């Protein structure tokens, strides 16, 4: 990858695309022409196979076969079938993952189960430890559960996690790749540290699944959840997923004990009997059309497997993020940007986050007006700076996209274009 680090011309970036062993994957996606899309970490691009597959599910499975499709089209098995496809990307085994509900809801399920296990094994432990800049929904779900279950939520900076891992910690709840900075934690080491004080781990893989190699079993993790609409390209609001280490799955009910998690849902018994294994982490009827879209999108990763698998994706991702950071340093010196993403490869995921003390939102809007799509994440006005976020999905992002994105950013800054007042007007979704 040394070549990438010295690429400082458009021609050099074009050469990197020529040599890219994964370049054919872009053809599997409908990337809008003339758009440089660097937001696959928020909403992945539409796979070309998805519209026809979803249309067939609507016209034939729903339109013609109706209720029969629960059996004939395998609708009922879809959460596990899709779960098995995701399992291959995250170091889980067959029948250890189920695709269902949202990340927030799945987090509620696994965190509840983890607290139940902790309460049974270590009743004196009363703390959920997490990172101050973890994604808010994760913190909100934890906060509510703490209130209900008599635990407290302790939040520290990433660097202070090890020190804060004391005997009082019941659960260490972390997001593997930070949504703001793109910093990646070492799952294996953090899990070992947690276990050494008797704490369980809950990992959020929202910015990891499909973006970086993950080895849940190899890391001895306890619980994990993740997102279907980011790097997995399942479409807006796609079902999320949940994994539980087999040693924990059958110990406690998850609290959303709906009929899809029942051992025999079609016996319609009045009492709840949880299914064995990960099936019990389902709740109720799932969105079949959305599952169909996610199922189709995951087939892209079968192509990835033929081309070197997650490690090949990782190599390209690191080359893209490395190139982006180098070009920003070379082309935008003096424009007041900082880089929040770690330069060390082991410490970053698949995005680059820039900081700037003023104008971050307007600059992102000015880029969007030029069809360079990133996004803005607000700071707290104190220690956390405003962030300009650029997701570099290795499935469909080209090296020339990085080149042009940085050139656009340079033009936006050199011309002062971003200072036009309309770029500062906030939309509902940033």
Ligand X SMILES: *Cc1c(COP(=O)(O)O)cnc(C)c1O
To ligand X, the closest distance from the beta carbon of 211 in angstroms equals 11
Return the half-sphere exposure (C-beta side, CA atoms, 13 A cut-off) of residue 318: 18
Q: Note whether 179 binds ligand X by CB under 6 A.
A: yes
Residue whose C-alpha is closest to residue 391's, from 338, 353, 348: 353
| 264 token code pair | 């025999």
Q: Note whether 135 binds ligand X by CB under 6 A.
A: yes
User: Which of 135, 231, 390, 399 is labelled catalytic?
Assistant: 135
Q: Note whether 377 binds ligand X by CB under 6 A.
A: no
Question: With respect to ligand X, which residue has the nearer C-beta, 61 or 101?
Answer: 101
To ligand X, the closest distance from the beta carbon of 389 in angstroms equals 11
Could you tell me which stretch among 19-27, 88-96, 98-106, 242-250 binds ligand X (CB under 6 A)?
98-106
What is the CB neighbour count within 10 angstroms for residue 6?
A: 10
Q: Note whether 291 binds ligand X by CB under 6 A.
A: no
The string of DSSP codes covering 326-340 is HHHHHHSTTS--EE-
Active site residue 88: no
Q: How far apart are alpha carbons 151 and 272 in whole angstroms?
A: 27
Q: How far apart are alpha carbons 410 and 389 in whole angstroms?
A: 16
To ligand X, the closest distance from the beta carbon of 237 in angstroms equals 8
Binding mask 229-248 for ligand X (x = CB under 6 A): -----------x--------
CA 192 vs. chain centroid, Å, equals: 23
Question: With respect to ligand X, which residue has the nearer C-beta, 135 or 376?
Answer: 135
Q: How far from 46 is each of 162, 375, 390, CA to CA, in Å? A: 40, 18, 18
Active site residue 229: yes
To ligand X, the closest distance from the beta carbon of 330 in angstroms equals 30
Active site residue 361: no
| 220 token code pair | 């001895």
Among 8, 14, 30, 102, binds ligand X (CB under 6 A): 102
Q: Note whether 104 binds ligand X by CB under 6 A.
A: yes
Q: How far apart are alpha carbons 113 and 313 in whole angstroms?
A: 33
Q: How far apart are alpha carbons 47 and 393 in whole angstroms?
A: 13
Q: How far from 276 is each of 119, 169, 255, 273, CA to CA, in Å? A: 22, 28, 15, 9
Q: How far from 111 is each of 96, 128, 209, 254, 267, CA to CA, in Å? A: 17, 9, 19, 9, 29
Question: With respect to ligand X, which residue has the nearer C-beta, 36 or 232?
Answer: 232
Active site residue 37: no
Question: With respect to ligand X, which residue has the nearer C-beta, 151 or 179?
Answer: 179
Ranges within 386-415 binding ligand X (CB under 6 A): none
Q: Which residues of 315-325 are buried (b: 16+ CB within 10 A; e: fewer)?
A: bbbbbbbbbbb
User: Among the residues of 234-308, which ranges form H helices?
Assistant: 246-249, 288-298, 300-306
Q: Note whether 89 binds ligand X by CB under 6 A.
A: no
Q: Note whether 174 binds ligand X by CB under 6 A.
A: no
What is the CB neighbour count within 10 angstroms for residue 307?
A: 14
To ligand X, the closest distance from the beta carbon of 102 in angstroms equals 4
Q: Are 90 and 205 in contact (CB under 8 A)?
A: yes
Q: Are 166 and 122 in contact (CB under 8 A)?
A: no
Could you tell me which stretch among 7-15, 56-64, 134-142, 284-292 binds ligand X (CB under 6 A)?
134-142
User: Which of 151, 179, 223, 229 is labelled catalytic?
Assistant: 229
User: Which of 85, 125, 180, 230 is labelled catalytic?
Assistant: 230
Question: With respect to ligand X, which residue has the nearer C-beta, 222 or 375?
Answer: 375
User: Which of 20, 39, 204, 386 is labelled catalytic?
Assistant: 204
| 235 token code pair | 């479409």
Could you tell me which stretch among 101-109, 115-123, 216-224, 328-336 binds ligand X (CB under 6 A)?
101-109
Binding mask 192-231 for ligand X (x = CB under 6 A): ------------x-xx-------------------x----
Q: Note whether 143 binds ligand X by CB under 6 A.
A: no
Q: How far apart are alpha carbons 34 and 370 in whole angstroms?
A: 9
Active site residue 204: yes
Q: Note whether 138 binds ligand X by CB under 6 A.
A: yes
Q: Note whether 43 binds ligand X by CB under 6 A.
A: no
**Mind telling me the catalytic residues?**
135, 204, 229-230, 389
Residue numbers at the binding site for ligand X (CB under 6 A): 102-104, 135, 137-138, 175, 179, 204, 206-207, 227, 240
């Amino acid at each position: 990858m040394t070549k990438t680090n010295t690429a400082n011309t458009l021609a050099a970036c074009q050469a990197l695309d020529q040599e890219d062993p994964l370049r054919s994957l872009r053809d599997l996606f409908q990337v809008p022409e003339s758009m440089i899309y660097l937001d696959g970490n928020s909403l992945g691009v539409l796979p070309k196979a998805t519209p026809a597959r979803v249309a067939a599910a609507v016209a034939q499975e729903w339109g013609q076969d109706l209720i029969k499709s629960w059996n004939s089209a395998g609708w009922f098995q879809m959460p596990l079938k899709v779960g098995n496809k995701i399992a291959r990307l995250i170091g889980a085994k067959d029948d250890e993952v189920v695709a269902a509900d949202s990340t927030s809801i799945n987090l509620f399920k696994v965190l509840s189960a983890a607290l139940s296990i902790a309460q049974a094994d270590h009743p004196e432990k009363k703390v959920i430890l997490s990172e101050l800049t973890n994604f808010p929904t994760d913190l909100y779900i934890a906060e509510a559960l703490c209130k209900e279950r008599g635990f407290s939520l302790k939040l520290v900076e990433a660097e202070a996690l090890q020190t804060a891992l004391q005997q009082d910690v019941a659960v260490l709840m972390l997001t593997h790749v930070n949504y703001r900075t793109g910093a990646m934690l070492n799952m294996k080491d953090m899990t070992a540290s947690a276990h050494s004080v008797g704490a369980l781990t809950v990992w959020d893989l929202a910015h990891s699944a499909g973006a970086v190699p993950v080895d849940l079993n190899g890391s001895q993790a306890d619980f994990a959840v993740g997102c279907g609409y980011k790097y997995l390209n399942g479409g807006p609001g796609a079902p999320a997923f949940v994994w539980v280490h087999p040693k924990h799955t059958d110990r406690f009910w998850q609290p959303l004990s709906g009929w899809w998690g029942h051992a025999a849902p079609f016996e319609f018994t009045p009492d709840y009997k949880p299914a064995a294994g990960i099936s019990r982490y389902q709740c109720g009827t799932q969105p079949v059309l959305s599952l169909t879209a996610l199922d189709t999108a995951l087939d892209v990763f079968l192509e990835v497997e033929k081309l070197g698998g997650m490690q090949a994706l990782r190599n390209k991702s690191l080359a893209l993020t490395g190139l982006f950071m180098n070009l920003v340093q070379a082309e935008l010196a003096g424009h007041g940007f900082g880089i929040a993403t770690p330069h060390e490869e082991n410490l970053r995921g698949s995005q680059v986050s820039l900081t700037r003390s003023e104008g971050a939102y307007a600059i992102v809007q000015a880029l969007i007006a030029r069809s360079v799509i990133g996004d803005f994440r607000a700071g707290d006005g104190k220690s956390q700076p405003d962030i300009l976020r650029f997701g570099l999905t290795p499935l469909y992002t080209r090296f020339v996209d990085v080149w042009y994105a940085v050139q656009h950013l340079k033009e936006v800054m050199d011309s002062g274009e971003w200072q036009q007042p309309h770029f500062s007007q906030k939309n509902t979704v940033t």
